[in-house]
């Protein structure tokens, strides 16, 4: 038989408070505990934000440097195949035609400075002109240049070889030469052939009415 003291103060309320406190202290961590998936997701988001900030900080420097480097690299690769520096249609035009009464029609030979803009095998300079005519048993004695510019080759290369050079500027773009140009051309040909004719010499008659545009 158990004796109870009815005058003792009730204890259950204190015990319940203590128990509830223990329950709260025990359950509180469970409510804020993250799973491994949550932690991984949060770390991934943080990395993305950090990378985004870093890229945003570095973007001005990259924009100012990268395009310049890429542009120079692109230009260096295509430099040898750039047609913009050549006379229009020059690459696909035959080098020279058949001899006509001691005159050889030819497209304009380009100086060595154009070599970087011409695909190997397509180059045509006065060195090659003289070699090709020499192979055909001809001696080049006079060059009559009908182009409207003097930027294509150095005349000094011809003078070193003792070759006469005459410049008669004719406009391109399907322009018709005037009478003065025709008379000048006729007199140059007549003078060289009848007065200073050298046996075996020929004329290199530079015809560029189609492939050479007028320089502005």
Burial of 89 (0-12, 13-18, 19+ CB in 10 A): middle
Q: Per-residue confidence of the chain (216 residues) as pLDDT tens digits?
A: 555 555 555 555 545 454 444 544 445 445 556 676 677 777 778 877 877 776 665 554 444 444 454 444 344 444 444 444 788 888 888 888 888 777 888 899 999 889 888 888 889 998 998 888 888 888 888 888 888 888 888 999 888 888 888 888 887 767 777 888 888 888 888 877 776 555 555 555 433 222 233 343
Distance CA 98, CA 106 (A): 9
- Which pLDDT belongs to residue 5? 55
Element (H, E) at 184: helix 179-194
- Which pLDDT belongs to residue 110? 92
Distance CA 209, CA 24 (A): 100
- Which pLDDT belongs to residue 70? 45
- CA distances from residue 71 to 62, 83, 84, 116, 150 in whole angstroms, order as listed: 14, 18, 17, 18, 31
- Which pLDDT belongs to residue 136? 83
Fold of 84-206: 3.90.190
- CA distances from residue 164 to 99, 144, 152, 185, 203 in whole angstroms, order as listed: 18, 8, 17, 14, 10
Distance CA 141, CA 161 (A): 9
Look at residues 134, 115, 128, 207 and name the one whose alpha carbon lies nearest to residue 168: 207
Tokens 């397509």 correspond to 122
- Which pLDDT belongs to residue 3? 54
- Which pLDDT belongs to residue 78? 41
């Amino acid at each position: 038989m158990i004796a109870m003291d009815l005058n003792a103060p009730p204890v259950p309320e204190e015990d319940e408070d203590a128990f509830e406190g223990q329950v709260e202290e025990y359950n509180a961590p469970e409510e804020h505990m993250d799973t491994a998936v949550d932690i991984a997701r949060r770390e991934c988001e943080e990395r993305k934000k950090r990378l985004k900030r870093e890229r945003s900080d570095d973007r001005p420097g990259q924009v100012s440097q990268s395009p310049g480097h890429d542009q120079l690299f692109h230009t260096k690769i295509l430099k040898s195949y750039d047609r913009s520096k050549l006379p229009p249609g020059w690459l696909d035009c035959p080098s020279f035609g058949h001899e006509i009464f001691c005159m050889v029609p030819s497209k304009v030979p380009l100086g060595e400075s154009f070599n970087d803009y011409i695909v190997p095998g397509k180059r045509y300079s006065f060195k090659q002109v003289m070699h090709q005519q020499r192979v055909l048993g001809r001696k080049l004695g006079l060059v009559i240049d009908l182009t409207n510019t003097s930027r294509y080759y150095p005349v000094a290369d011809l003078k070193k070889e003792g070759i006469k050079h005459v410049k008669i500027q004719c406009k391109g773009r399907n322009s018709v030469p005037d009478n003065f140009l025709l008379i000048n051309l006729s007199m140059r040909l007549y003078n060289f052939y009848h007065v200073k004719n050298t046996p075996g010499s020929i004329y290199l008659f530079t015809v560029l009415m189609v492939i050479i545009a007028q320089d502005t």
